[in-house]
Amino acid sequence: MRPDCERCGAALPAESAGAFICSLECTFCATCAEAMDDICPNCGGELVDRPTRAVRHHASNPPGTVRRFKG
């Protein structure tokens, strides 16, 4: 799970709601997804709510740490 919005750099923790992804896992915050009419600018796919990851799974399946925002 990517840790930030690819468009604005907002933090998107794996255990919280508010992130949107396309089928290729491009990741955006809710504000940016809305501004883009829920269409991924990278691939043209539909942006949908990203599921959250329970904290108990972080040790065995850690969320990503590489930030994608290039600012």
Instruction: Indicate the domain borders of the chain.
Output: 1-71
- In Å, what is the CA distance from 65 to each residue of 2, 4, 35, 37, 57? 7, 9, 25, 27, 15
Q: Looking at the predicted structure, is the pLDDT value of residue 27 above 80?
A: yes
- What is the pLDDT, as a whole number, of residue 45? 96
- State the virtual CA torsion across 41, 44, 48, 50 in degrees, nearest 10: -60
DSSP structure string for 58-69: TTTSPPP-----
Residue 44 or 63, more confident: 44
What pLDDT band is residue 66 in, cutting at 50, 70 and 90? confident
- Of 58 and 15, more confident: 15
Question: What pTM does this model have?
Answer: 0.80
Tell me phi and psi for residue 58, to 5 degrees.
-65, -35
